[in-house]
Amino acid sequence: MSIWTYANRFSSTPREHQLTLGEGATPLVRSRSIGPQLGIENLFFKLEMVNPTGSYKDRFAASAISDMLAQGKTHCVATSSGNTGAALAGYCASAGIRCQIVIVEGAPTGKLSQMLAYGAQLCRVRGFGTDPETSVQVFETLSELGQRPEAALQVSAFRYSPRGMSGVQTLGYELVEQAEMPVDHVFCPAGGGGLTVAVARGCRELASEQGISPAKVHCVQPEGNDTISSPLRNGDLQGRDVDCTTKVSGLQVANVIDGNEVIAECRPLGGTGYVVTDQEVYTMQRRLAREEGVFCEPAGAVALAGAAKSIALGEVQKAEMTVCLVTGSGFKDGASVQKMVADDPCPLIGVGEIADCFSA
């Protein structure tokens, strides 16, 4: 199975151009430790880090690059904080399409190396991802480059690449079909907000077809990138640009991008916004690894940090089915993993010292 199982729902791309590396159909697993400790019986994790390039962005890339193939495009121009670039670079390599990506200044080296390994051409721009003005200028420049006949601009946002983002809606379809009971809550991490929009639309569409109530889809952001979550919670109609200060890679988006659409999609479903600290995110990254065996990058732990806050506020009930999206692999951000294990020794010893080593 791949996202193309749902092709008739989200795409008009001809079958012969439907590129796949096996993305989609990711596991939905029950929490064995954290859920019970938080006081919730039905906490589940959607493990998007098992996609081919290690994140949910493969759903976007499969749809976006397939659309480029159908149009005869040969040059992909893109922006990325890491995972979008890795996904596009991988799928472009498979399709034989040239890939050039402008990267946010603070992208982790692991993600840069992955893009380069696939053969993408990269450049990082000072202030991109943290300064709203610089970020606007980047998008304006790339929009011009993407208008050339052989080229297409690919940014994982509905505002720029609606055909690519339609592939991310398959995540919402899968949640409805995989769940052993109706899903009550879905917690989504957000930078620009496109993932949250896509999941809300996918859940709503398939739930409507099946005659069940759609899940409440919630937007979770680090406090240093609160472009959408507080406006959604406070009843505002629009998001807001910020000077981005979060260190959580992948969510360093200073501009609203799809934030207004998040508000429009989530509020009617009963969804709201949650703001978490970077430290809360790092704590949940560690807990996922050590208590659930789920190895994710910090952005992949943001949803769980938001869910924990919701449970503490009494906004999720004990028996409600709650899903947290784990969006990217721990291998994406090696520095965060090194920080996690900094105090854990791994001594070099002689064979006769093994018993003593483990008796400590």
| Residue-level pLDDT at 3 | 96
State the burial class of residue 158 (Cβ atoms within 10 Å of its Cβ: 0-12, 13-18, 19+): buried
Q: CA-to-CA distance for 303 and 307, rounded, in angstroms? A: 6
Residue with the bigger pLDDT between 340 and 250: it is 340
Helix axes 169-178, 194-210, angle to 10 degrees: 40
| Residue-level pLDDT at 108 | 84
Strand 322-326 and strand 185-189: pairing?
A: parallel
Give the CA radius of gyration of the chain.
Answer: 20
- Predicted TM-score (pTM) of the model is 0.95
End-to-end Cα distance, the chain: 47
Sequence letter at residue 190: A
For 162, residues 6+ apart whose C-beta sits below 8 A from its C-beta are: none
| Residue-level pLDDT at 139 | 86
State the pLDDT confidence band at 360, using cuts at 50, 70 and 90.
low
H-assigned helices in the chain: 7-10, 34-38, 57-71, 83-95, 109-117, 132-145, 162-166, 169-178, 194-210, 229-234, 259-269, 278-287, 302-312, 334-340, 354-359
Cβ-contact 157, 188 below 8 angstroms: no
pLDDT in tens, 273-311: 999 999 999 999 999 999 999 999 999 999 999 999 999
Instruction: For the chain, list the domains and their CATH numbers.
Output: 3-55+165-340 (3.40.50.1100), 57-161 (3.40.50.1100)
pLDDT in tens, 181-208: 999 999 999 999 999 999 999 999 999 9
- 23 in helix, strand or coil? coil
Q: CA-to-CA distance for 120 and 153, rounded, in angstroms? A: 14
